[in-house]
Structure 1
Amino acid sequence: MPLAERPRVYTIPPHGAFVDALAAGLLERTKDDPLALARARILLPNRRAVRALTDAFVRRSDGGLLLPRMTPIGDLDADGFATEAASLDLPPAFDPCERRLRLTQLVRRGAARRGDGVTAVEALRLADALGSALDELTGEEVDPAALATLVENADLAEHFQLTLDQFDAVREHWPAVLAATGTSDAVARRLAVVDAVAREWAASPPAGLIVAAGLVAVSPAVARLLRVVARLPDGLVVLPGVDTAMDDEEWDAIRVTAEGGDEAHPQYMLKRLLDRIDVGRGEVAGWDYPTASDGPVARTGAVASALRLAKFTTAWRDAPPEGVFDGVRTVEAATPAEEAQVVALALRRALAEPGQTAALVTPDRNLARRVARHLARWGIDIDDSAGLPLRQTPPGAMILALAEAATQGFAPVALLAVLKHPLVRFGPERLAWLDRVRALDRRLRGVRPVPGLAGVTARLKETKAVEALTAWWTEVAEMLAPLEAHFTHEDCALADAVAVLRDTGEALAGDELWRGPAGRALGGLVAMLTEHGRHLDPFAPADAPALLGSLLRDVPVREAYGKQPRLAIYGTLEARLQRADLTILGGLNEGVWPSPASPDPWLALKIRAELGIGGTQRGIGLAAHDFAAALGGPQVLLTRARRDDSAPTVASRFWLRLHASVGDALKPETELLALARALDRSAVPAPAPRPEPAPSAAMRPRKISVTAAEQLKADPFSWYARAILELKLLDPLDADPGAAERGIDLHDVLEKWIKGGGEPDALQPIAATMLREKWSNHPLMQALWKPRVERALDWVVEESARWHDAGWSPHGAEVKAVRELRNGVTLQGRADRVDHNAAGALAIIDYKTGKPPSNAQVQGGFALQMGLLAWLIGTDAGAAVEALRYWRLSGGKEPGDATDPLAYRGKPFIELPDHVAATIAAFDDLCEKYLLGSEPFTAKLHPEYAARYSDFDHLARVAEWQARAR
């Protein structure tokens, strides 16, 4: 039977619900023959379209229905559809995972030959772009000889020329790889099958209805098949949204050229498709099968007008017909979080209407995830067609956490992320496991221990951990030891790394690692990488987390059951042919919808134009086509956020064009926005009063140190929190060495020096030993702090010599003194250094790595430490204290400074005995008020002398009352 001369090509306009109209039309055309539909064959763009059309048939069937055979165009040989291709005797398709890794290897080796350092993860990114470029050349049927000629003759920048050279080298090398493995390129194989089907159908048209529907962006081979289908005796081609109402002048003005032309226009890809199948726009007929899901007809023309070429926008002066946009509302949220709340409320409101369906269409995955989380608050589990990247699921995150921990030398944060993972010891033993992990957490607080499992073991010994915790950690370390052994090698092999991560994850989590859709997806990826990982040369262990993260991110995980059937989240591709009663277009900001055209790292625009494969703007044109199609629904909500997490945003060009063309016809949705802002709004908080706790005398301790006495006087609440409530701020995990650690270390060095005899030449070696033993794993600390330590200690030696010349000699270091007073209070203190002179008198020296107390603090009676130490130590030693000194050890431009706390501008303002007496009197008053009496512990009682920031300021809610108190 010969092919028809006149093609049968139809279009369903944007206001029509594509799959519902298609199903309605096919049912109507086959109503006279109960088996005609079952014999039909329908070609669709993708699997999602197959599912959507299946659902549409089910919705329209009154009872039993024999469905037609529906096949995605990319899987023509997957279900026996193209039995005609069997005669081609094509070898099997090349494994996609092996191809990806082999291309990554070729990119790395090419970069190495050029002397460029390319990490494994960067090579993977370039390899993915390389694979896409190769597939595009194959799909567009570009003659390889043309590329070779361009490599020789193209006038390109040097870096582009190098890139093109490598691309051409890979292209020439690839056929040898295919021949050696006995496989064929997947795209080439698929297109060969398509061509075989087209030839077979052209020569011998099949019996039954053949329909190709929903296709927009097609390769030349698929276009040849559609050309045949359109001319079969029982063939139909149904296209989405061909603008048959556009003026011929405007249609002809859309340039379809080898360089790309007007790729950003929503009709560009459809015009190119019609050209390829040799069909004029006038030959495209309307598919006149309306459905209940159709939108207003007039809106289609108004939206098309908004997206027309710039030189035809003079038509915007004409207002659209009244009521065209009655079903369209807009929301401009302040932030992405607010936008997600609005969308979630709109979906929930739709669910409250019986039978109503709603869908969020957005390319913004962050918005999609936020909306899903908001709906989960109300117990609504929405179907997200994109699924969740494997790296964001518990099994994927577990593998990635293990890689991070190993490459970071089991640093505390990374190690605890593994041990606290929800899959580890899942089940009845998890509570006991978490008790041990929390105990380990407390001992790892502070500065990072020495790298490796041995460093954690050493930290447990330093902190005198209980035997049970040490025994538990020994078992954990044995499970992690193979991981440490592998990732401490100079190079890391992918297959071996995946195997050791798999075994370690299984040792910690057991079978929980492989349960559910995410576990099965992880198992599949691990199996592929273990099998094909040998095709990637070893890489630096530090690259492993980023490389694995990229591989895990590219595997989607979808839950198959249990979703709300009336709600969905679609990407723009998944939504292309589907229709809901309410369509929400979210994330309408420039750079999101449409996404920016990504530059091709392999084929420059000039090269693409020379090869005739177009530019990089066609994604914008498809986004515009999707935007117009989605606006055809009966109810549409457009949303955007005025700023993102870091800066103001620019509205999408589609948003701006629509507002510019229709003006006030678009109405804002105020109710949902107000609800979103009110939903999580709390009442105006009542500021807390200044805390003044006053526990009973029995609860007040009778023991205090000389430094705590200063805190008690200036900020009684902080002392109360520490001494009575027994609160202590936990050190952060993996903290950088701070002023406290530096001060403790300097005190230790000086203590060892004094107790070792105080010889001038012995001080620097003690400091060098400390820096080497304690800070070997903190090179930045050594580089920045070591010079300051050396300068400060040189100053100590010089000052000690001057002090010696004045008649003083070291008496002791870290000298402790404790005294129980008559009122039952015990006072204790420690002097950093005590010297004596020939007459037996004492001098107390206090080292300060920060600023010593000011003269105002001393004269005001808020610097009690030195006066109380003079009393305690002098009494214990039975000798008079004749001198007090602060030695400030900064190590900066002024390496040190010695000051007398009782001197002001070089003159003493009080005699030492009088200062001691005044200090004792002030201390007695504190004891009577706070330790023995009922005085309340007022927060920041003397803020001018209290620490500017206290560990307990948040507990005292200082920010709420301090300004008012003043």
Structure 2
Amino acid sequence: MADISRIFTIPFHQAFADSLVAGLIDRYKPMELARGLILLPNNRSVRAITEAFVRRSSSGLLLPRMVPVGDPFLDERLGAFLDPVDLTDPFPPAITPLDRHFRLTRLVKKAMKQQGKEISPSESHRLAEDLGLTLDQLIAAEIDPAALSTLIDPLAEEELAKHWQSSLNLLECIITDWPQELANTGQIEMQDRRNKLLDRLTERWQKQPPKGPVIAAGAITGSPVSARLLRVISVLESGLIVLPGLDLTMSEEEWALLGPHERDPDTGIKQPSLESHPQFQLKLLLERMGIARNEVALWPYENKKMVHKERSLAISHAMAPARYTNQWLNLSEQERSFPDVSIVEAAHPEEEAQIIAIALRQAIEKPGVTAALVTPDRTLAIRVSALLTRFGIQADDSAGRPLSLTPPGMLLLDIISAAADHFSAVSFLVVAKHPFVAFSEERALWREHIRALDMVLRGPQLKIGLAGISQKIAQEIDKKRADPNLLSWWESVKTAFLALDNRHQEILPLAELIRLLRETGQTLAGDKLWSGPDGRMAADLITELEQLAIHHKELMSFADFGRILRQLMDKQAVRPVSGGHPRIFIWGLIEARLQHADLMIAASLNEGIWPPISDADPWLAPRIRSELGLPGLDLRIGIAAHDFASILGAGRILLTRARRDARAPTIASRFWLRLEAMTGGLPKAAELPYYAKMLDEPKIFKPALRPAPKPPVPDRPKRIAVTRFDSLQADPYSYYASNILRLRRLDPVDAAPTVAWRGSLIHSILEDWVKKDNADPKKLQTRALNIWGDINSHIIQKILGTPRLLQAINWIEQQIQQMTEEGRSIVKVEQYGKCLIEGIELFGWVDRIDRLSDGSLALVDYKTGQPPSSKSVTSGDNLQLGLLALIIEQGGIPSIEGHVQAFEYWSMAQNKNKQAGYKISVLGGKQAISPEAFLNFTEKRFSEVIQSYLLGNAAFTARPYRGKKLYDDYVQLMRFDEWRANPQHKVIGS
């Protein structure tokens, strides 16, 4: 039995780091402590204990050596101190993680090929990553991978589904080849080397105990080799073990229920362990050490941050196994209460982040008070950190940020993405707008050029490749819509991307892909790309990949390379250097595991985040893992539960969650629900959502008035297009914004084809058909198919648009053949005309003018969507055709003589029979009116409107008529939502 005075636990209601340090300083003399050694779980634990020593020893202290032991089940590494280089019998070096990853990838692809399966490079890398974790766990648990073969046949035939049988067979093939692959490198597994080093240390301390104190602190899990080391420390005269949050109040019945359990000798059934319980891993560790729970004593030293001891008891009740939750009914109010714990449910993550930022800022109003946000959600942590800058607070996320989310990592991934996307306008602009990119120019000048290019590239998706961008620039310059100097600048910039252009479908060697990426990044961003902690990490990763690519001659596309590089970057965290606020912290779960602040905010308490989702092992079925003795898939849930319980031991606690995320409603964490159920409901910090709401509210809110600008008459336009008249009469403010302020809505980059774009396409086809093919019906379809070679459009638009276009063209061809037989002929297409009415120039383009058999004229306007109804035309809401007829009647098109007798819309939309094409004669049917009467009505309406708005001083009022609006381009500018509900703003017709 171990000496009971050498194994302790610090309960949840005491801050572990501060209590541990307080006890060590009290227990040992300064020089004795300085010669000591403290074994801790990981590097971040070392930092937490170091900071606790600094807080405790204001007069100065020689610190003991602190070394991370690491937990292989949590992908943690062994400290360098425990891996000496001066051994007389050194172990072989460990294979680097990246080299191992690529070798496993090659074996995965080989085994897949042997089974007749082909997988993409990115999928093989993903499987290799999961395989590496599985092998690490087998080695850490001291399970010979070869033992897997003894389980395959009996289990595969009886209990496993076919896909698990396939995975097992595949794994057996890889495990068979892996030892020889590893031996060829002269290296060993990192976890195998860790086991050997710890076993050697265990043997040395058994034979020759260290002279100074040896303290093992903070372990909540432990592999068998770690447990053996801790067992030896527990019997050393100078040894000491301090566990965090071991529950000594739990009944023996509950403790036994946790597991692990032996197989029933009669039934052969093995009861599952409660791995999701916060005490399970500690129980497993004690059993591996051969120590009973009653041998562990409470740490007899206290600290200033401790709360009342009843808090630990309440935590124990809240985390009770499900079978014992009915006992909550028998608890007194004090036993199930959590004083100073409150909750906030936000509507969405943005509000949650704002609430947390306010709570942190509020906490430090009192001098000396510390506050910490604890969350496994790195996105939320980034949001809170950004919001705190509003209060002048710089709070660094000590858990770090994945390399893929840092500026260097994002630029490298964006370059690959652009190459894989064949330099679409969007993907290129993402690279060009990166803050590191300047291409040897001054950053301000580069931004000017990119903004000009951004304006040029807006609109429907272009042809793929850099050539599509070049063509679009030239087209905009020809139309006088871009600076001519932009093209010469672009031709210079384009050289940086030529090596990547037109290679998006190529399968290239890994070494070539890395070279292209490195050189392009260097050309665009220079040394800034590789500067700072994140830049240096990116440079190290690229350098290591280049070295590995010499031996691993893997072939892949840019798209696969991008996915693989992102996987690698996601695993590397860039942690901030010191310099954040001294009293506000943002911690991950590991950082919070051993320390408390005065206010602890546990955030993102939703299922799938805290606790995380139990990711399935693609290689080993749960039954196989159980038979082998590996930890179950709920391992991380149990650890997350222990972390949550540790936070509940702090003084003041705020628990937060968002009711929905970016995709769907969320489910509250099981930990949240347990507390709510046991306590009957925790108090809500209702003031925080109110503060968050009021933070951006003006002191006095005065809604905007309906805009009604009245520019001076001399400043009003003296000409108007037929296409703008309907806007002027229906929504004068929109006309004012468009034609007087000259504001235009910006199209998105790589936009979907709009109705206007499709209309221009149809007009161009028909115009060329009439002018170049003399309206020969046999040549119309050919003309339509050839249009795609003449326009700067993405191939996908041709693929998707051609069938619909041909349907419309065939309908037009049939209609023209029919009208030709009736004696009707095309006179003009795309014809410009103008006339002067009351001093205002009216101008516009006619899509088509036909000569009818009686010598009169017909006006045709093409529509790709639904045309205006006859009622809307004859009522005066849509007078485009009538105004064009006025131009003709007044000689506005000199080459055209005659009177307009027919007004038609030819629509390419589907008709009642779901076929493309139909036409509307706007003066027929129920709305029958003579052409002469229609023209008189049109002229009268035109005169009234221009007398009010262009020749008079009428205000350009926003939306004056109920139900009459054409477009929503200026809704935000007119602040429509602010004034539309105001009863004082009555509209005509209400």
TM-score (norm 1): 0.94
Match among 716, 728, 737 for residue 712 of structure 1 = 728
Residue 451 of structure 1: how far off its partner (Å)? 0.8
When residues 946 and 151 of structure 1 are mapped into structure 2, their CA distance, relative to the original with a 3 A threshold, is same
| Aligned-partner residue type, residue 571 of structure 2 | D
When residues 852 and 206 of structure 1 are mapped into structure 2, their CA distance, relative to the original with a 3 A threshold, is closer
Match among 303, 312, 319 for residue 324 of structure 2 = 312
| Aligned-partner residue type, residue 811 of structure 1 | V
In structure 1, distance between residues paired with 2:835 and 2:624: 88
In structure 2, distance between residues paired with 1:215 and 1:672: 36
In structure 2, distance between residues paired with 1:376 and 1:654: 31
When residues 163 and 830 of structure 1 are mapped into structure 2, their CA distance, relative to the original with a 3 A threshold, is same
Q: Tell me the equivalent position of 2:247.
A: 243
RMSD between superposed Cα atoms in Å? 2.6
Correspondence 1:357 to 2:388: no
Match among 940, 946, 951 for residue 921 of structure 1 = 940
Q: Tell me the equivalent position of 1:577.
A: 594
SS in 1 for 2:725: helix
Q: Tell me the equivalent position of 1:490.
A: 506
When residues 440 and 333 of structure 1 are mapped into structure 2, their CA distance, relative to the original with a 3 A threshold, is closer
Q: Tell me the equivalent position of 1:337.
A: 350
Q: Tell me the equivalent position of 1:557.
A: 574
- Which aligned pairs between 1:653-664 and structure 2 lie closer than 5 A? 653-663=670-680
In structure 2, distance between residues paired with 1:819 and 1:673: 62
Q: Tell me the equivalent position of 1:56.
A: 52
SS in 2 for 1:498: helix
When residues 899 and 104 of structure 1 are mapped into structure 2, their CA distance, relative to the original with a 3 A threshold, is same
SS in 2 for 1:531: helix
Q: Tell me the equivalent position of 1:866.
A: 881
Is the CA contact 1:296–1:324 (under 8 Å) kept in the aligned structure 2? no
Q: Tell me the equivalent position of 2:115.
A: 114
In structure 2, distance between residues paired with 1:938 and 1:621: 64
Q: Tell me the equivalent position of 2:128.
A: 127
Cα deviation, 1:619-657, whole Å, max 9, x if unaligned, reads 222222222222222222222233333433332222222
Q: Which runs of 5+ in 2 are unaligned?
A: 71-75, 263-269
Q: Tell me the equivalent position of 1:694.
A: 710
In structure 2, distance between residues paired with 1:200 and 1:742: 81
In structure 1, distance between residues paired with 2:361 and 2:17: 25
- Which aligned pairs between 1:512-551 and structure 2 lie closer than 5 A? 512-534=528-550, 535=552, 537-551=554-568
Q: Which runs of 5+ in 1 are unaligned?
A: none
In structure 1, distance between residues paired with 2:3 and 2:176: 42
Correspondence 1:377 to 2:378: no
Q: Tell me the equivalent position of 1:608.
A: 625
4+ runs deviating over 6 angstroms: 3-7
Q: Tell me the equivalent position of 1:957.
A: 975
Correspondence 1:743 to 2:755: no
Is the CA contact 2:280–2:638 (under 8 Å) kept in the aligned structure 1? yes
Correspondence 1:290 to 2:307: no
Residue 809 of structure 1: how far off its partner (Å)? 2.3
Q: Tell me the equivalent position of 2:265.
A: none
In structure 2, distance between residues paired with 1:794 and 1:263: 69
In structure 2, distance between residues paired with 1:133 and 1:164: 12
Is the CA contact 2:611–2:640 (under 8 Å) kept in the aligned structure 1? yes
Match among 875, 888, 895 for residue 906 of structure 2 = 888
Q: Tell me the equivalent position of 1:900.
A: 921
When residues 474 and 95 of structure 1 are mapped into structure 2, their CA distance, relative to the original with a 3 A threshold, is same
Match among 445, 464, 471 for residue 458 of structure 2 = 445
Residue 904 of structure 1: how far off its partner (Å)? 2.3
When residues 894 and 141 of structure 1 are mapped into structure 2, their CA distance, relative to the original with a 3 A threshold, is closer
In structure 2, distance between residues paired with 1:62 and 1:849: 79
Correspondence 1:417 to 2:430: yes
Match among 849, 853, 857 for residue 834 of structure 1 = 849
SS in 1 for 2:661: coil
In structure 1, distance between residues paired with 2:567 and 2:975: 44
Match among 12, 15, 26 for residue 14 of structure 1 = 12
Moved more, 355-364 or 273-282: 355-364
| Aligned-partner residue type, residue 708 of structure 1 | R
Correspondence 1:621 to 2:621: no
Q: Tell me the equivalent position of 1:721.
A: 737
SS in 2 for 1:956: coil
When residues 650 and 501 of structure 1 are mapped into structure 2, their CA distance, relative to the original with a 3 A threshold, is same
Q: Tell me the equivalent position of 1:857.
A: 872
Is the CA contact 1:7–1:231 (under 8 Å) kept in the aligned structure 2? no
| Aligned-partner residue type, residue 284 of structure 1 | V
| Aligned-partner residue type, residue 137 of structure 1 | L
Cα deviation, 1:435-470, whole Å, max 9, x if unaligned, reads 111111111111122111111111111112433211
| Aligned-partner residue type, residue 406 of structure 2 | T
Residue 797 of structure 1: how far off its partner (Å)? 2.6
| Aligned-partner residue type, residue 857 of structure 1 | S
Correspondence 1:168 to 2:172: yes
| Aligned-partner residue type, residue 196 of structure 1 | R
Is the CA contact 1:361–1:575 (under 8 Å) kept in the aligned structure 2? yes
SS in 2 for 1:828: strand
SS in 1 for 2:130: helix
| Aligned-partner residue type, residue 42 of structure 2 | N
Is the CA contact 1:753–1:766 (under 8 Å) kept in the aligned structure 2? yes
Match among 277, 286, 292 for residue 274 of structure 1 = 286
When residues 829 and 279 of structure 1 are mapped into structure 2, their CA distance, relative to the original with a 3 A threshold, is closer
Match among 5, 13, 29 for residue 27 of structure 2 = 29
Q: Tell me the equivalent position of 2:897.
A: 879
Moved more, 291-300 or 319-328: 319-328
Is the CA contact 1:298–1:324 (under 8 Å) kept in the aligned structure 2? no
In structure 1, distance between residues paired with 2:915 and 2:144: 74
SS in 2 for 1:205: coil
Residue 141 of structure 1: how far off its partner (Å)? 0.6
Match among 397, 403, 413 for residue 390 of structure 1 = 403
Moved more, 795-804 or 520-529: 795-804
Correspondence 1:767 to 2:787: no
- Which aligned pairs between 1:93-108 and structure 2 lie closer than 5 A? 93-108=94-109
| Aligned-partner residue type, residue 832 of structure 1 | D
Moved more, 315-324 or 491-500: 315-324
SS in 2 for 1:811: strand
How many residues align? The count is 955
In structure 1, distance between residues paired with 2:934 and 2:20: 98
Correspondence 1:499 to 2:515: yes
SS in 2 for 1:954: coil
In structure 2, distance between residues paired with 1:888 and 1:67: 87
TM-score (norm 2): 0.91
In structure 2, distance between residues paired with 1:11 and 1:95: 36
Residue 917 of structure 1: how far off its partner (Å)? 3.1
Q: Tell me the equivalent position of 2:67.
A: 71
Is the CA contact 2:905–2:921 (under 8 Å) kept in the aligned structure 1? no
Moved more, 131-140 or 424-433: 424-433
When residues 932 and 531 of structure 1 are mapped into structure 2, their CA distance, relative to the original with a 3 A threshold, is same
When residues 853 and 220 of structure 1 are mapped into structure 2, their CA distance, relative to the original with a 3 A threshold, is closer
When residues 122 and 684 of structure 1 are mapped into structure 2, their CA distance, relative to the original with a 3 A threshold, is farther
Moved more, 103-112 or 17-26: 103-112
Q: Tell me the equivalent position of 1:399.
A: 412
| Aligned-partner residue type, residue 327 of structure 2 | A
Residue 888 of structure 1: how far off its partner (Å)? 1.6
Is the CA contact 2:831–2:846 (under 8 Å) kept in the aligned structure 1? yes
Q: Tell me the equivalent position of 1:255.
A: 259
In structure 2, distance between residues paired with 1:888 and 1:81: 83
% identity of equivalent residues? 42
SS in 1 for 2:952: coil
In structure 2, distance between residues paired with 1:268 and 1:387: 28
SS in 2 for 1:619: helix
Cα deviation, 1:751-781, whole Å, max 9, x if unaligned, reads 12222311221111111111354376333x3
Residue 733 of structure 1: how far off its partner (Å)? 0.9
Residue 375 of structure 1: how far off its partner (Å)? 1.2
Is the CA contact 2:111–2:173 (under 8 Å) kept in the aligned structure 1? no
Cα deviation, 1:697-725, whole Å, max 9, x if unaligned, reads 21112112222233323332222222221
Residue 423 of structure 1: how far off its partner (Å)? 1.0
SS in 2 for 1:173: helix
In structure 1, distance between residues paired with 2:84 and 2:445: 60
Cα deviation, 1:314-349, whole Å, max 9, x if unaligned, reads 432121437963333333333333332232222222
When residues 385 and 919 of structure 1 are mapped into structure 2, their CA distance, relative to the original with a 3 A threshold, is same
